[in-house]
Each structure stands twice: as C-alpha cells, then as structure tokens.
Amino acid sequence: MKNILKISILSMVLGFSFYSCDDDDSIPNQDLLFVPTEVAVSLSRVSTDVSVPESGGQVVYNVDLTSALSYDLDVTLDVVSSDGSIETTTGLVELSGVGSATIASGDTTVTFTIDFIDDTVLDFTETYTFSIGSIVSSGSSSDSYLLDVSSSESILVTDTPDIITTAGDFDINLDWTGNTDLDLYLRDGDGSTIDYSWYSQPENITFLESYADGDYAIGVDDYYDSPLPTSCDLTLTFPDGQTLPLLDEATADFIWFQVTKLTNGSEVWYYIIQQ
C-alpha cells in the first residue's frame, strides 16, 4: 500500500514538471514586446542644379518624414556660407526663404524655397550649406519617436558674369579722338605686364585663350597727360562675336579694369570691374 502511494505521488510530481516545462516554452504576450515606430527627419534638394546664379537664382529643399505623425512638427532650416556670412558688409541679406516651417499632422513634407539676391559685391562663387536646425513638436505619441538624420545639402552660388562666351582669344581695342596718345596695357594678377600696345592708333592687344583662370587688369594710359577728359572707345570683342564697350571717355591719366577669367565647362566666364 505504501509503495502504491509513493508511485501516485511521483506521477503527480512528474506530470506537474512536464506541464511547467511546456508552459515556459509558450509565446509571451505580444503587448509586452511593442516597439515604437522610428520616424526619420531628413533634408533633400528638389532642384537638380548643382549651381545657381546669385542674381535671381533659386533652389528648393524638402524636409521629409518617413511616416506621418499625429501632431504638428516645426522645423528650422539653417544656412551657412563659405565666406562666413550671409550678409554683405552693408548688411544686405544674400538670400530669402530660410527660417521655420510646419509639417502639419498627417503630412510628411514641408518645402523651403530659397531665392538668392545679388549683393552687388563681386565674390564669384560661394558655397551655401543648408541643414535642419531645430525640431519642435506640438505633441507626442507612444506609437513613434523622432530620429534626426542630421543631413545637409550644399549649392554653389555664382555671381552673374559680364560675359559668357566660348573658349578662344579675345581682342582689346582702344581708339580716341583729339591731340593725344593713349597706350594700352594688359597685366596679370601679380601686376606684371604681359601685353601692351604703344605709339599706334588704334591700339590693340589680345587676351589669349591660354591664359589661366584668375585675375588680370586692362589699363589705359594717357602718355602725354593731355587735358582731360578725352573722348575714346575701349571695346572687347569675344570669340563668339559678342562685344563689350568698357570706356567712352578717359577722365584720368591712368584707368584700370579688373578682368577675372573663370572656365565653366565648355564656357568661359568673364567678370569685369573698373578699379
């Protein structure tokens, strides 16, 4: 009788043990494993241009969410320029369109349209880099969380050239009226004379295609220091036939024009400023 009781108790214990092992292997409650959805915030450029002109140039950016939210999200677009400032020395802001905008509840995108402004300063090419600044939400949700991917986008902004032409030599021609003698000079960025024309009328020199990109100077000199002003005609003639008159009256004994050459693919850009 004792042996039968022992066997019965042992069977109950083993049965409970097997039941316990099976219960440990069961699938847990799925609610205990809920993971919030990751919603990434990123910046992308809509326009495909890699460079835009400073005068009238425009670039469009989107701030995107990978999933819509149940609350509004305020985002700020920041910008820095390669020259350290987005203002000129006179305080003129070089662009418009940056700042804050709202991605409304249920939406996934907000668009920033950036317009560039001619600051009247010859700074050739600048790089503007845009990035997401602050992200401020009007609410929260246990269903999702935000991830800022810290993306940035850059765009080259170029001053509008005075002349866009094809590669090749261009002519510099000087003529005048009156009893005087004007001389014509071409100097490189170091101030060394690389071409000149004296004792003839008209004076003519050639800006060679082989000259490297950079700064040059065209100079007009009144050899006899004649009474001023002197009526004259200083004109540049480019390989594609374009002409650019620079001077119709000499009002000083020496007049200089800065000429900056910039090769842009198959085009050659020239920026010209009277010094």
Residue 84's region, left for phi above 0, alpha for psi from -120 to 50, else beta, is left
Tokens standing for residue 162: 């005075």
Q: Which of 12-26, 61-75, 85-99 has the highest mean pLDDT?
A: 61-75
Give the mean model confidence (pLDDT) for residues 103-118: 92
Q: State what percent of residues in the chain have pLDDT above 90.
A: 40
CA distance 16 to 142: 40
Q: Which residues contact 20 (CB under 8 A, 6 or more apart)?
A: none
Name the DSSP class of 7: H
pLDDT tens-digit map of 146-203: 666 667 899 888 877 789 999 999 999 999 988 889 999 999 999 999 999 999 999 9
Same domain, 44 and 147: yes
Domain with 153 in it: 35-158
61: how many CB neighbours lie within 10 A of its CB? 23
| pLDDT at residue number 10 | 38
Element (H, E) at 241: none
In a domain, 17, yes or no: no
**Taking a C-beta distance cutoff of 8 angstroms, is the pair 204, 220 a contact?**
no
pLDDT tens-digit map of 193-221: 999 999 999 999 999 999 999 999 999 99
Tokens standing for residue 225: 């220091």
Res. 118: pLDDT tops 50: yes
Same domain, 249 and 185: yes
Same domain, 191 and 252: yes
Q: What is the pTM of this model?
A: 0.55
CATH number for 121: 2.60.40.2030
